[in-house]
Structure 1
């Protein structure tokens, strides 16, 4: 969640200008740190009926962890793919993006099948009646019943991304945005302003609903995350990391503006407030296009930028304030926590895939606790966070190819 821009960043991406690749090739600690934070928030948000989710940042404003994830993914993509377009040419950049799309596509298919199979197994086991003393349809609670009643249509739809259940909509959105990278990089060869202007134009068109994508073969429900709206968040992060956009100055008045905007947004985002204030509720009903999540409404975009600016200012140049050399107990605890968060941020795709499945299992455990009290809720969330940290370290270990090292 950073407005990181490299020193002496160029104004355009052209193959001859290798300084761009050098400038944009250094990984920023703030990128991994805030993406790691987003992974923890996403886990908490996806545990069904999780009392702790009432206190995540999304409950106090317009934007949420999805913006952090997409924005940081844009920054990471600028490092992973943008450099290749500049140093190896457009064709090789296209091949690199296609390879990533292939990976994410099968991650999406695997995630859906794993979650669906797990829910079927739980329903078939009859564990609800045996141990819970109540009836519940786990498949139905996910809204994927039609996959089993209309399997032929749903299976073709799943593989062609025309069947996108709401819980499984982030990765398809990410796939379409990834596919836009070659276009944006091609436009940036003319001028970065043309690339960013095109992104803004696509976002503005998406606000009208004209670019909605079908989410099911048997109805007119659109994708919950419209990639043509959300690409603006992605390419904003992409542009900052490529140096197309200058990093904003850290000034008192900008900080004040960001803080005021965030504070004013609280009554409009906190449901315990706006449901009790008739004029706020009426305003929300009349202006949903301004903060709609599907098309990434303008208020969500601005709310996230305000949060990102404050986080970037607080982190310091190069994330210097995130690091400490102190030997006090507090410093040691912070250093340990920072390392864990960074590891999760570095392995965000693996962590995200696992957490989307594991969150459902944690919700399943909570179903058997008395009234989902605070003690079991905190325990389940702690187990979830500890587990995704373990997954991050395991994914990093596999990526290191330890079998290639000499004994």
Structure 2
């Protein structure tokens, strides 16, 4: 769903045609922004409670899901946004810029938590509902004993499951100065360090506590997931060469996705188990989805291979320099759709935070109105439209129109 090659870049408003390959990309890539935009829509659908549309998101058909798209593309975007600062201004200034971004992500996480907690408390208090929306998010202990939980929230030792992606992203960003320091030795040393850290995390040696009253860990361990982030980072910085464009590799990736579906997809496994119970019984003992939670927490190897297979197919389809995607952009309908998706991808942090809050409210609306086909379709489409509005609003504010000269 994204590019593994930085050889062509595009301006934010209009993709370039084919551009000569460069070892380091410093401008936005249409393929990157489209992939991030698609991920934002999938994340909204996935987080609406009891949303029938979640039956058709990528997570229902394989090991990886929209989280991988978000993390990988964030690595590529960070290579563009921050990598140049380390080269132009030095390690200290590059680290300062990363620290400023960490500060932004940290407060986005805190504000998202308090806004969602407030809205759920307001529904429980004033909406006259039969169930507790606070308890549905497992926030009962926060409201019954708030003082230690507030301390835990601000120190990231209390990370409820619904609020786990931004803390992961925050810690991964904080690792960037270390990776850039290793890259001064050699890019190979930087990637080797990432691989070693991932292996140590998968041995269960780097757990992060998610709550003080139990042994529950962070749902996304950043020391495992950083491998995917810095893979995207390395491709965009030119540390890793683009893969060869070969049809047999594309067929092998497609075969892995198809043949691995019964083992990585709850939906596919259920279909097989219902149609052929004996085959389902044979698959179940080796079915990774039913194994340890660490398969997702520490970012297991099968998730990595599965995502890279999808990414290769998307990159292969997009053509050299993204020419096929650019051709779609040149068509009227394609131009409109890709412009909207690209804008959402360019404002991914603002859109993500808004979507996490919006998803709970859409779920509440579904509970009140029912989940008929019309209600579900209208709710999902209205949610998508609001994401687009958020992206354009964030882009407008970032442009600082009040500083432009009067014409």
> Normalization by structure 1: what TM-score?
0.91
Q: How many aligned positions are there?
A: 385
Summarize the Cα distance change of 1:367–1:245 in structure 2 as closer, same or farther, 3 Å threshold.
same
Mapped contact 1:78–1:241 kept (Cα < 8 A): yes
Mapped contact 1:61–1:262 kept (Cα < 8 A): yes
**Residue aligned with 2:151, SS:** helix
1:159 lines up with 2:154 in the alignment:
yes
Mapped contact 1:21–1:86 kept (Cα < 8 A): no
**Residue aligned with 1:189, SS:** helix
What root-mean-square deviation, in Å, do the aligned CA atoms of Structure 1 and Structure 2 show? 1.9
Summarize the Cα distance change of 1:243–1:290 in structure 2 as closer, same or farther, 3 Å threshold.
farther
Query: Mean Cα displacement is larger for which, 342-351 or 279-288?
Result: 279-288
Correspondent of 2:301 among 285, 289, 298: 298
**Residue aligned with 2:287, SS:** helix
Stretches of structure 1 that go unaligned for 5 or more consecutive residues are: 8-19, 129-134
1:233 lines up with 2:233 in the alignment:
no
Summarize the Cα distance change of 1:374–1:286 in structure 2 as closer, same or farther, 3 Å threshold.
closer
Summarize the Cα distance change of 1:285–1:227 in structure 2 as closer, same or farther, 3 Å threshold.
closer
1:363 lines up with 2:363 in the alignment:
yes
How is 1:146-225 mapped onto 2 (pairs within 5 angstroms)? 146-225=141-220
Tell me the equivalent position of 1:40: 41
Stretches of structure 2 that go unaligned for 5 or more consecutive residues are: 9-20, 274-279
For residues 357 and 394 of structure 1, the distance between their equivalents in structure 2, rounded to whole angstroms, comes to 17
Tell me the equivalent position of 1:386: 385
**1:287 Cα shift?**
7.8
Deviations 1:234-256 (A, max 9, x none): 00000000100000011111011
**Residue aligned with 1:200, SS:** helix
Query: Mean Cα displacement is larger for which, 396-405 or 309-318?
Result: 309-318
Deviations 1:251-288 (A, max 9, x none): 11101110000001211233244242112222126983
**1:23 Cα shift?**
3.0
Deviations 1:78-118 (A, max 9, x none): 11111111111000011000000000000000000000000
**1:340 Cα shift?**
0.3
1:336 lines up with 2:331 in the alignment:
no
Mapped contact 2:198–2:225 kept (Cα < 8 A): yes
Tell me the equivalent position of 1:137: 132
Summarize the Cα distance change of 1:127–1:319 in structure 2 as closer, same or farther, 3 Å threshold.
farther
Tell me the equivalent position of 2:75: 74
**Residue aligned with 1:231, SS:** helix
